[in-house]
């Protein structure tokens, strides 16, 4: 994500207008049809303002994903139970909370950006979360976190594609079955 002007109040207001304009426009038309000109016109800002804050529309989507990830990590830090099933429950609760926005992104084939963002942030953040990672070399850590993020992502994607029928608890409970297979 190459978001620019972080911390500047005027820039933050512009970013908020631009990101809301993108969501508004995506409600009516596919993401790929939304030009920077349409986006800035809808936001009431100039193209120059857009490019002061972002390099592409994908940066806006990644900003949303990054925000969702930050919310997830804040919730995980509150948890005493760091089992895979419980961490998955926290993840799926966050996904459920943001399901309308994430569903819109999924409908526009932008969910792959979520995987990229989660994979990157998980590799960056997870080693600080548990001493279990202390004994791992960087390659092992990278592959394990990619495996976990890929699994979480694929479950979330299947949930959106399947009509969001299961609750977050039901999704997390599927991982209990996985634990039974591998640990018994």
* pLDDT at site 128: 58
Rounded Cα distance, 182 and 40, in Å: 51
Two tokens at 118?
Answer: 């989660």
Question: CA–CA separation, 21 vs 30, rounded Å?
Answer: 13
Closest CA to 59 of 24, 104, 107, 110: 110
Give yes or no for residue 133 having a pLDDT over 70: no
Highest mean pLDDT among 37-46, 76-85, 124-133, 174-183: 37-46
Long-range contacts made by residues 52-56, C-beta under 8 angstroms, separation at least 24?
52/4, 52/5, 52/11, 52/14, 53/3, 53/4, 53/5, 53/11, 53/14, 53/15, 53/18, 54/2, 54/3, 54/4, 54/15, 54/18, 55/2, 55/4
C-alpha distances (whole Å) from 71 to each of 21, 92, 133, 160, 169 are: 23, 12, 22, 20, 18
Mean pLDDT for the stretch of residues 38-57: 97
**Ranked by mean pLDDT, which of 77-81, 131-135, 138-142, 180-184 comes out on top?**
77-81
Predicted confidence at residue 83, as pLDDT, reads: 82
- For residue 178, the model assigns a pLDDT of 82
- How large is the average pLDDT for residues 104-128? 79
Q: Is a pLDDT exceeding 90 seen at residue 92?
A: yes
* pLDDT, greater one: 14 or 1: 14
109: alpha, beta or left, given left = phi > 0 and alpha = psi -120 to 50? left
Judge whether residue 131 has pLDDT over 70: no
* pLDDT exceeds 80 at position 119: no
Cα separation of 40 and 48, whole Å?
9
Instruction: Tell me the backbone φ, ψ of residue 58, rounded to 5 degrees.
Output: -60, -30
pLDDT in tens, 9-30: 888 999 999 999 999 999 999 9
Closest listed residue to residue 156, CA positions, set 68, 24, 78: 68
- Would you call 39 helix, strand, or coil by DSSP? helix
Using pLDDT thresholds of 50, 70 and 90, give the confidence band for residue 132.
low
* 162 in Cβ contact with 174 (< 8 Å): no
């Amino acid at each position: 994500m190459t978001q620019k002007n972080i911390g500047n109040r005027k820039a933050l207001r512009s970013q908020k207008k631009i990101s809301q304009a993108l969501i508004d426009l995506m409600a009516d038309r596919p993401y790929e049809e939304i030009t920077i000109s349409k986006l800035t016109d809808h936001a009431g800002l100039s193209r120059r303002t857009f490019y002061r804050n972002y390099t592409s529309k994908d940066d806006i989507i990644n900003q949303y994903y990054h925000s969702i990830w930050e919310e997830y990590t804040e919730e995980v830090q509150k948890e005493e139970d760091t089992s895979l099933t419980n961490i998955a429950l926290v993840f799926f609760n966050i996904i459920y909370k943001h399901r309308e926005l994430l569903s819109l992104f999924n409908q526009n084939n932008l969910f792959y950006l979520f995987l990229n963002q989660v994979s990157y942030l998980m590799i960056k953040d997870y080693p600080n979360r548990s001493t279990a990672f202390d004994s791992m070399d960087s390659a092992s850590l990278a592959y394990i976190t990619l495996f976990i993020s890929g699994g979480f992502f694929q479950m979330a994607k299947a949930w959106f594609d399947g009509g969001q029928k299961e609750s977050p608890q039901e999704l997390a409970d599927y991982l209990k079955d996985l634990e039974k297979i591998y640990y018994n």
